[in-house]
Structure formats: structure tokens, C-alpha cells
């Protein structure tokens, strides 16, 4: 049931911050996740603050330093089709293209994609789970084939975003504005593990707004991709996914970033896989070692053990594609 709420359209970032500072307020960008959550009673809101008219949050543009600045309101379709992103940051463009369905990519924003709520069926269903302030995660003893194999503690959901692991692999930073001013933090510290707080997925405080995403210039010899394994060819979340960005020089991996989706309550950076690649030639041996390292410390639940060979196979496959 869509409960009654006040609708306010913010005319500026500052106004959006003021309007959304009080408890019970929610930011509306593309609305593709928010409105569904409100309708299904996953949570309620008494004030909806639309930021969809804020021009300063739109667009994708090159920065003076050779990087990119992506407004929080840039749509997934815009990112998927952006020539510069496709050429220099393929992991991100591919991840955006792999999300949802064409209609949702036209409507959904990158900011919303990073801030979307979990898809866990216990969270979305009528279960008072830990993420809704309850004292248990129903996935532990329940239907958990789609749940996490890393980082679960108190909550075993998987972070649903495809673009988040891609941005993580690109060492992206996010800019956050609030009453006390603006701060820019690495995306890696934007996401919150359930062991820290199972009730929120990110570091935004009430009234804080994710305004833009910043990408450094690509490293020399950079190559990257996003792989997504899903049941259905469209309109489906990742069973598991991997964003991989490598900087290769003279046949040797200078820098490796491996970030996984569908495996943890946050986009999951596999430093183990990265370490197995760094300084190595990208040959079959290194690829197999990295794939094995990616799942080394996995802790499956009763029904999701299949994700271990799945991740291993997917990482191996993705690295082989980058080597080719």
C-alpha cells in the first residue's frame, strides 16, 4: 500500500538537503526502486523529496585531469551508451548495460543504482528481518540460494548493484553533500557491512546526498570488463558477477582490481585475487590461481555452495577474455 506522503520537488541541492534532513524523508531520483518499496510496504516515507529536476546532478563529462565526472542523475542507459565510458571504462559501461531492462535503464539513475535497497526476498517480503530492525536473518535457515558467501554477519543479503563492483574496480570516488558541507570518499568506504550496521547499506547520513561519481584517468594499458551470470537474459539480478580492471604493461599485470557482485552484502573486492595477479604474466597459471584465490575464504550457506565454482569459473573465464 502506498501510504500518504508529502511530495516536494527540490530546486537546488541545498534545498534537497534541507528537505530530506528530517527522519521519514526519502530522496526520489528515478524512482524505479523507491516507489516499488513504498508500494510493497518494505518501508514507508512521509516526505518524498524529488531531485529529478536538479540539472547540476545530471550528465557525464570529462574532467580537466583526464578523468570522468558522472552526475548522480545520469541514467544507466546514458552510461551504457556513452562513447568515452565504453572506450576507456568498459567495465562500467558493460555493467550499466547489464542491469535491469531497457525501460528501467532509461529511468534508473547511477546514484539510485548505488543506493538501491537489497533484493533479498525476506527483506522485500513480510519478514521482520535484521535489516528492518528485527533480530534475525531469515536466510540463515531459509531459502538462501541467492544469498551471500562473503561478509555475511547478521544479514546475508547480496548487494544488488551491477555498477557498484565496476566502479569499485575503477577505484571510483563519490562526492557527498550534506548540511555540514561536502566530502569526497572512495567508493570502497561508501558501502557498509552488516557487521557494522545491518540496517543500512551505505554511509549516507539523513540529509546527505550522493551528488556525483569521479573516475581517475584510466591507467596506461588498462583493460576491463564486467561479467554477469543470471538466470534470464534480461530483467534479472546477478547470481554472481565480476568487474575486473587490469593495467598491463609489457605483458605483466601492474595493477589488478577484481570486484564481485552477487556474493556479499556489499560489492566485494577480492584482494586475494588481485594479489594473485599483481606482477604476474596473465597466463593460464596466474588466471587459475586468481580464480581460486577469489573464492578461497568463501563461507557458503546451506543452499548457495554452487556460487563457489560459479565465481571461480566466471573469474577464470573473464580473465581469459582479458588475456586474449
Partner 1 sequence: MSESTYAVVGTRPPRHDATDKVTGRAHYGADFQLTGMLHGFILRSPHAHAAIRRIDVSKAEAFPGVKAVVTSADLPESPEQMVDIGEGAMPLSYIRGNMLARSKVLYKGHAVAAVAAVSPHVAEEAASLIEVDYDVLPCALTVEDAMRDGAPVILPDLRTKEFGEQTGRPGNVAEHFRHVLGDAENGFTEADLVVEREFRTATVHQGYIEPHATTVLWNEDGHVLVWCSSQGAFTVRKATAAVLDLPVLRVSVTPLEIGGGFGGKIRIYLEPVAALLSKKSGRPVKIVMSRQDVFEGTGPTPGSHMRIKMGARKDGRITAAQAYLAYEAGAYPGAMVAPGAMCVFAAYDIPNVVIDGYDVVVNKPSTAAYRAPGATQAAFATESVVDEIAENLGLDPVEFRLMNAAKEGTRRADGPKFRRIGCVEVLEAMRNHPHYRAPLEGPNRGRGVAVGFWFNVGLASSCTISVNSDGTVNLLDGSVDLSGTRTSVSMQAAETLGLRAEDVRPSVGDTDSIGFTEVTGGSRTTYATGWAAVEAARDVIGQMKERAALLWETDAASVEFDRGVFRAGGRSITFQELAAQLDETGGPVVGRGAVNPSGAGGSFSGAIADVEVDPETGKVSVLRFTAVQDAGRAIHPSYVEGQMQGGSVQGIGWALNEEYFMSAEGAMLNSSWLDYRMPTSLDLPMIDTVIVEVPDPEHPFGVRGVGEANIVPPPAAVSNAVYRATGVRLYRLPMNPVAVMEALWQKESEPGGGSLHSDAAA
**CA 108 to the chain's CA centroid:** 13
Q: Which is closer to partner 1, CB of 185 or CB of 306?
A: 306
Cell of 57: 546532478
309 binds partner 1 (CB under 8 A): yes
Among 26, 313, 322, 323, binds partner 1 (CB under 8 A): 313
Q: Which of 85, 273 has the CB closer to partner 1?
A: 273
Count of residues interacting with partner 1 (CB under 8 A): 33
Sole window of 59-67, 139-147, 151-159, 164-172 interacting with partner 1 (rule: CB under 8 A): 139-147
Contacting residue, 239, 247, 253, 264, with partner 1 by CB under 8 A:
239
Q: How far is the CB of 15 from partner 1 (least distance, A)?
A: 28
Angle at 249 between CA 247 and CA 251, to 5 degrees: 110
**Only segment of 109-117, 210-218, 259-267, 297-305 that touches partner 1 (CB under 8 A):** 297-305
- The helix (run of H) or strand (run of E) holding residue 260 is strand 252-261
Interface positions, 19-48, toward partner 1 (CB under 8 A): 40
Given candidates 145, 192, 203, 322, which one binds partner 1 under the rule CB under 8 A? 145
We find the least distance from the C-beta atom of residue 3 to partner 1, in angstroms, to be 7
Distance CA 310, CA 308 (A): 5
Q: How far is the CB of 181 from partner 1 (least distance, A)?
A: 38
Distance set, CA 46 to CA 155, 175, 179 (Å): 27, 26, 21
Burial of 180 by CB count in 10 Å (0-12 exposed, 13-18 middle, 19+ buried)?
A: exposed
| By CB under 8 A, residue 106 contacts partner 1 | no
Strand 173-178: give its sheet, edge to edge. Answer: 60-62, 68-71, 209-215, 173-178, 181-186
81 binds partner 1 (CB under 8 A): no
Residues 92/214, Cβ–Cβ less than 8 Å: no
Which residues contribute to the site for partner 1 (CB under 8 A)?
1-3, 40, 119, 121-122, 125-127, 138, 141-143, 145, 229, 231-236, 239, 303-306, 309-310, 313-314, 316-317
Amino acid at each position: 500500500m502506498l501510504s500518504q506522503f508529502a511530495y516536494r520537488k527540490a530546486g537546488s541541492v541545498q534545498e534537497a538537503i534541507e528537505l530530506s534532513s528530517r527522519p521519514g524523508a526519502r530522496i526520489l531520483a528515478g524512482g524505479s526502486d523507491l516507489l516499488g518499496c513504498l508500494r510493497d510496504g518494505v518501508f514507508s516515507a512521509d516526505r518524498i523529496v524529488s531531485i529529478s529536476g536538479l540539472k547540476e546532478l545530471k550528465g557525464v563529462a570529462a574532467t580537466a585531469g583526464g578523468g570522468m565526472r558522472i552526475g548522480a542523475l545520469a541514467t544507466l542507459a546514458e552510461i551504457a551508451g556513452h562513447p568515452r565510458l565504453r572506450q576507456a571504462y568498459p567495465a562500467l559501461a558493460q555493467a550499466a548495460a547489464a542491469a535491469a531492462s531497457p525501460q528501467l535503464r532509461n529511468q534508473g539513475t547511477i546514484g539510485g543504482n548505488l543506493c538501491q535497497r537489497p533484493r533479498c526476498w525476506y527483506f522485500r517480503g513480510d519478514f521482520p528481518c535484521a535489516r528492518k530492525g528485527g533480530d534475525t536473518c531469515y536466510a540463515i535457515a531459509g531459502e538462501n540460494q541467492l544469498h551471500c558467501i562473503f561478509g555475511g554477519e547478521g544479514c546475508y543479503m547480496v548487494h544488488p548493484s551491477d555498477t557498484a563492483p565496476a566502479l569499485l574496480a575503477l577505484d571510483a570516488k563519490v562526492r557527498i553533500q550534506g548540511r555540514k558541507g561536502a566530502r569526497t570518499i572512495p567508493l570502497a568506504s561508501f558501502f557498509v557491512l552488516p557487521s557494522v550496521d545491518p540496517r543500512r547499506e551505505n554511509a549516507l547520513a539523513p540529509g546527505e546526498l550522493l551528488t556525483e561519481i569521479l573516475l581517475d584517468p584510466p591507467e596506461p594499458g588498462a583493460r576491463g570488463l564486467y561479467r554477469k551470470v543470471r538466470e534470464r537474459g534480461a530483467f534479472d539480478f546477478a547470481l554472481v558477477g565480476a568487474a575486473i580492471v587490469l593495467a598491463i604493461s609489457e605483458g605483466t599485470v601492474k595493477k589488478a582490481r577484481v570486484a564481485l557482485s552477487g556474493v556479499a552484502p556489499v560489492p566485494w573486492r577480492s584482494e586475494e585475487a588481485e594479489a594473485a595477479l599483481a606482477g604476474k604474466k596473465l597466463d593460464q597459471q596466474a588466471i587459475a590461481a586468481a580464480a581460486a584465490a577469489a573464492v578461497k575464504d568463501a563461507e557458503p550457506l546451506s543452499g548457495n555452495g554452487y556460487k563457489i565454482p560459479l565465481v571461480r569459473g566466471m573469474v577464470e573465464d573473464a580473465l581469459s577474455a582479458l588475456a586474449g
